[in-house]
Structure 1
Amino acid sequence: MTTPDIPNGHRSADIQFSATPWGYTKLWLVNLLLTLATLGIYGAWAKVRNNQYLYGHTNIEGHRLRYLAKPLQILQGRLLALGVLLIIMGVSYIEPMAAVVAYLILLALSPWLIVQGLKFTYRNTSYRNVRFDFKGNYIDAFVNFILLPVLSVFTLLLAFPWVLKRIHQFMFGNCEYGGERLTLNTSAGEYYKASAAVVGVYFVLFIALSLAFGGTMALLAGAGADPSDAEAFSQQMSALILPFIAAFYALPYLLQALFSAMIRNHIVNNLSAEDLAQFKSNITVGGYLSVAMTNALLILFTLGLGYPAAKVRKMRYLASKTQVELSPRIDHMANQVDGNDSAFGEEAAGVFDTDLSII
């Protein structure tokens, strides 16, 4: 939906996400079965098909996002990354001391993997037939992802909210669309505010739950529960303990919802491309928590098979709470990027656990 009520020809548009949990689940399950049947080879095609489905159901002003990566690019990248991993494992097995050197080399390579992974993802995403691009470099990635996080340890992690701010600025502030650089003007104060809220809520709820649990156990003992009657005692313990287990299980999701709601709103509301696009987000802690908790239960009780439905539910909620203000220039942008990049960086980032999501 577009509303032409903004001066100077600018208009506000909602982000429409039309994917359905069952529609994506069917595609995901078929892709999973084909990947297993081909011993992982079809995984490259599965990734492309899954991303094309999700991107293709993301619509702004009647124009859909497109995922343009080719399966063979991804397969080649995965095979190369897997080969490097096997070499490192083989060298480490033959000469254990060499493992230290190998992992130091991998640590030095990880900023490059991050840059290449982000570049591949951005360059293979397009809107209005114009590809995104990423201009981050190795030095900045090394500083933001390696050096500063290590140094923050010596501040007892007090500097980490500021480090996280810099990481987000690196990931989004180096993005380009049609040659126009996006800018992200976030405030470290907002990161500290969100972190303080998380820490405060954690301690209050953890202490309250611990005291309530201790009090419940004391009441159980005072009520004369007989441990010798194993079945009755087990039933009493289960009835009293299960609510606390559920509460402790829910606590991380509450904290994540609190932090994500505060920071995502701050990031999106301060992300823009000059005279091209301005973004707005208004997710709430309660709304995000509701989605996160129901998704967690869905995945738990389906033994992981509910993951695709959970992903669609989360993306649908985020899209419904995000708007973009577009200028007339968006109608005249020209593509500046080709799509011939290697997928090695992105796939190696996944293999070596340095992958970063930009969605």
Structure 2
Amino acid sequence: MSDLNKTQRSLTFYGEGSKLFGITIINAILTVVTVGFYYPWAKVAKLHYLYSEFEFEGSRFEFHGKGKEVFKGFLKLIAFIVIFYGVLIGLPLITQNVAVIIISVLAVYTLMIFIIPLALHGSARYRLSRTSWRGIHFGYRGDRKELVTLFVKGFLLTLVTFGIYASWLSISLRKYIIGNIRFGNITFSYKGDGGEFLWLNFTNYFLSIITLGIYFPWYMKNLTNYYIENITLHQDGKKIKLKSSITGGGYFVLFLGNALIVLFTLGFGTAWATIRTLRYFASNVTVVGDLDTESIQQTEEDYKNATGDDLADFFEIDLI
């Protein structure tokens, strides 16, 4: 059956730049006044607003995270940063022993290889467990050790292949993380291929270079569509696909508009740029297939450890 003959449902995003700007300003003031310690509550306030502005089938999404949950992770993140920069900056000031410095720095960077998958795991588990729609929670059932092993092996193969294996590592991580996402009794899977992904990046990167960057929005369109359209939802033996109608021209207009807004407002228009981006994505992603929203059952438990979520922010790691 073609997609045209299948049931199609779309997301709607109702966010407003003025409201997000107000939240951002208040968050910034309180974060400065508290010397950064308000950051966890600022983060939660922003997520509460953005999640609640997404609507599907007449119902809004909700984010249930709390500032105190994120604050605990925030304190652990600060401890990690102190140790990290203490070794990189402080150690050379304490000792002149080159061997000790080199070994310590290598140890810190080796630790980071393990920290990144832990951040991915923790962020996915916390963020998804605190997200719901119609009272049904999302969840993540990945195993910490499995993800760390997958990442470390992939990272080492990326090193010995001078970066070539990075495409396979990226796809493997997406398959693992998305494959362990649950929404009630709905499961997810990701069908991507490292070879395809490598070729997509190589050809689009090359075209972006020879066109002096003009092709870049089309590169981002192809990349985004590859991410989205390889995701499948599974419900009672039925497959539900995600379809993207994002275009290169649409991306170009979005990028250009956002750049001009941020530039001519000296950064104050970032809230409006964010809203434009989220609205564009929401209006161009469609759920295709026989999704029975009435038979979704609650299966996931709350998970309140936000340490991984903060680490993911620190490393600027996307969830999926």
Q: TM-score range by the shorter chain?
A: 0.7 to 0.9
Give the TM-score, by structure 1 length: 0.76
Show CA shifts across 1:169-223 (max 9, x none): 23322211114320111234542342133233134224xxxxxxxxxxxxxxxxx
The Cα shift of 1:328 comes to 5.5
CA contact (8 A) 1:12 1:323 kept: yes
Q: What is residue 139 of structure 2 aligned with on the other side? A: 133
Match of 2:301 among 338, 343, 350: 338
Amino acid of the residue matched to residue 43 of structure 2? K
Could you tell me how far apart the structure 2 residues matched to 1:301 and 1:145 are?
Answer: 41
CA contact (8 A) 1:88 1:99 kept: no
Could you tell me how far apart the structure 2 residues matched to 1:31 and 1:269 are?
Answer: 35
CA 1:187–1:88: 2 relative to 1, 3 Å:
closer
**Structure with the greater alpha carbon radius of gyration:** 1
Residue 136 of structure 2 corresponds to residue 174 of structure 1: no
Residue 162 of structure 2 corresponds to residue 202 of structure 1: no
Residue 278 of structure 2 corresponds to residue 318 of structure 1: no
Q: What is residue 270 of structure 1 aligned with on the other side? A: 230
Show CA shifts across 1:1-49 (max 9, x none): xxxx967xxx421111111222222222222222222222222121111
Amino acid of the residue matched to residue 124 of structure 2? L
Moved over 4 A (4+): none
Q: What is residue 75 of structure 1 aligned with on the other side? A: 71
CA 1:100–1:196: 2 relative to 1, 3 Å:
closer
**Percentage identity across paired residues of the two chains:** 22
CA contact (8 A) 2:130 2:303 kept: no
Could you tell me how far apart the structure 2 residues matched to 1:326 and 1:45 are?
Answer: 38
Gapped regions of structure 1 (runs ≥ 5): 207-250
Q: What is residue 166 of structure 2 aligned with on the other side? A: 160
Could you tell me how far apart the structure 2 residues matched to 1:155 and 1:80 are?
Answer: 34
For residues 50-199 of structure 1, the aligned pairs below 5 Å read 50-90=46-86, 93-94=90-91, 97=101, 98-199=104-205
Deviating more after overlay: 327-336 vs 137-146: 137-146
Amino acid of the residue matched to residue 259 of structure 1? Y
CA contact (8 A) 2:120 2:319 kept: no
Give the TM-score, by structure 2 length: 0.84
The Cα shift of 1:149 comes to 3.9
Could you tell me how far apart the structure 2 residues matched to 1:328 and 1:109 are?
Answer: 37
Q: What is residue 248 of structure 1 aligned with on the other side? A: none
Could you tell me how far apart the structure 1 residues matched to 2:51 and 2:179 are?
Answer: 21
Show CA shifts across 1:224-280 (max 9, x none): xxxxxxxxxxxxxxxxxxxxxxxxxxx2x842x223311322332231222374321
Gapped regions of structure 2 (runs ≥ 5): 96-100
CA 1:322–1:333: 2 relative to 1, 3 Å:
same
Q: What SS does the aligned partner of 2:8 have?
A: strand
CA 1:105–1:156: 2 relative to 1, 3 Å:
closer
CA contact (8 A) 1:276 1:329 kept: no
RMSD: 2.5
